[in-house]
Amino acid sequence: MTANPVNLEEKLALFSELWSPKVVGGYNGNDLLVVKVKGEFVWHLHPDTDDFFLVLKGRLTIRMRDGDVVLGPGELYVVPKGVEHCPYAEEETHLLLIEPAGTPNTGDPATAAIKTKI
């Protein structure tokens, strides 16, 4: 087995599209994804899984019905399953996401972005 580290900055430099998660690795049935975001995503929830966000660069507000969570670089938050939320970034923000493989980013396979591996 050859160990090849993943450089997240290098992976993020490979694309420019927003709200388009890219798979950079995986473990135990989970996808490790990087994504660039700016502006508002859609209000959504994940009925069967928590939603993990780690800010690498920028600032992210996770809007929820009971109050917002604001994250800066190096901060993470896990939205519990079943909790409606809406990610928002005033400036371009880079995130690491961890989620079970096949989880749609909108909570609905019909409206979810297609994840690609880089």
Is residue 59 pLDDT above 70, yes or no?
yes
- Percent of the chain at pLDDT exceeding 70: 96
Which pLDDT score is estimated for 81? 95
Which pLDDT score is estimated for 4? 87
Average pLDDT value for residue range 59-77: 98
pLDDT tens-place string over residues 7-22: 999 999 999 999 999 9
Is residue 89 pLDDT above 90, yes or no?
yes
Considering only 13-17, 39-43, 65-69, 100-104, which range has the smallest mean pLDDT?
100-104
Mapped to the 3 state alphabet, what secondary structure does 6-66 carry? CCHHHHHCCCCCCCCCEEEEEECCEEEEEEEEEEECCCECCCCCCEEEEEEECCEEEEECC
Is residue 109 pLDDT above 70, yes or no?
yes
What's the chain's average pLDDT? Answer: 92
Which pLDDT score is estimated for 1? 52
Structure tokens at 10: 């290098």
Which residue pairs, CB below 8 angstroms and at least 24 apart, start in 104-113? 105/19, 105/21, 106/42, 106/44, 107/44, 107/45, 107/46, 107/47, 108/44, 111/42, 113/19, 113/20, 113/21
Name the CATH superfamily, with its identifier, for domain 17-102.
Jelly Rolls (2.60.120.10)
